[in-house]
Copies of this chain bind each other. A is one copy, B any other.
Amino acid sequence: MIIKIKKNTEEEKINNMVDFIKKVEGVEVQFIRSKEGISFGITGDIKAINKNSLLNNKYVDEIIEVKEPYKKVNRAFKPEDTIVSIGGEKIGGEKFSVIAGPCSVESENQILAIASEVKKHGAQFLRGGAYKPRTSPYSFQGMKKDGLELLIKARKSTGLPIVTELMSPYDIEHFEENVDIIQVGARNMQNFELLKELGKTKKPILLKRGLSNTIEELLMSAEYIMYGGNENIILCERGIRTFERYTRNTLDISAIPIIKKLSHLPVVVDPSHSSGKWWLVDPLAKAALVAGADGIIVEVHNDPENALCDGDQSIKPSKFADMMKGLKAIGDAIGKEV
């Protein structure tokens, strides 16, 4: 429920009203400042609110029911774009951000070399898996803590903030201290216990859409994190499961403008996982840019043929450089800084 306040209402009157509503048990109030003026959003047990008495309040202009089940992530609750700050970098707003790096951290040489390459060609963030969710217990499960150490070294040498996937609540503390953006993978998008724990931190979270989850469910999972108190969320479209067999998944390009309309949160696209083929990364990244995405997260490997995972969908640094040039040219044309 959104309470729109009449223009020119004194700050004090508004504060009194907020204080009054906050006393109702089970509800939470948040300020919404936009070009249209001041409103405040109410979530929780809104049935406990006396709507009529609010409507009779002389400072209240209008009451808007938010029919979508997501509230705090809803653009109605925050008309301006959320911009997530990570160290000196940002995701959201005017900038198209590029997160690049290997599927898995494999060795110091590998990650340092790739980090330096992707930085040189314009990436702002380094990705790399340390804890790997694998379908098979017999597959390489990642270098784990050692991999994280190597990512930290790569950050030190390049200055790039690091993005890596968290799989277990047991590791949250360690990630909070050492990682810049915590990734929640597609398979954990509805691991609600993990989401609740992440809601308690202030770390930026990169939340990937599940393989068969709707856009609404993705927003509901973000709502879990925001409900817990963490507003630093970046959504990620990474392809959905369909009957098509040529690609690993089907990139739902429409999800980008839809999420931008429904929510204030930034959204990035993963053209590597959504296609499963390296030669599709370039056109899909460009499609993401013009469709309104705030960035991409892309797999780059210096030796894809011998990568420990996802070699087929990883591009080489030279290919990455070409793609960046193409993205910049398009960015110039549409007024988005790449």
Residues of A within 8 A of B (CB): 43-44, 69, 71, 133-138, 167-170, 187-188, 190-193, 196, 210-212, 214-217, 220, 223-224, 227-228, 240-247, 250-258, 261, 274-275, 279-280, 283-284, 286-292, 326, 329-330, 332-334
Contact = CB atoms under 8 A, between A and B. Distances in A.
A257 B287 CA distance: 11
A330 B71 CA distance: 35
A246 B258 contact: yes
A254 B254 contact: no
B214 A246 contact: yes
Contacts of A133: 190, 192
Contacts of A257: 279-280, 283-284
A283 B256 contact: yes
Contact of A137 (B137, B210, B224): B224
Contact of A223 (B137, B217, B224): B137
17 contacts: A69-B136, A138-B227, A168-B169, A169-B169, A187-B191, A188-B190, A212-B241, A212-B243, A214-B243, A256-B283, A257-B283, A258-B280, A286-B290, A287-B288, A289-B290, A326-B334, A329-B333
Contact of A214 (B170, B245, B256, B334): B245
Q: How many copies does the complex hold?
A: 4
Given A287-B253, A329-B333, A191 B188 contact: yes
Contacts of A250: 240, 242, 250, 252, 254
A266 to B, nearest CB: 16
B193 A215 contact: no
Nearest to A242: B242
Contact of A220 (B136, B211, B251, B329): B136
A29 to B, nearest CB: 15
A244 B253 contact: no
Contact of A253 (B137, B188, B211, B284): B284
Contact of A254 (B44, B168, B280, B333): B280
A156 to B, nearest CB: 28
A235 B129 CA distance: 30
B44 A138 contact: yes
A189 to B, nearest CB: 8
A137 B263 CA distance: 17
Q: Top 5 A-B pairs ranked by shortest CB distance?
A: A212-B212, A333-B333, A287-B287, A187-B190, A286-B290
Contacts of A44: 138
A275 B254 contact: yes
A69 B253 CA distance: 29
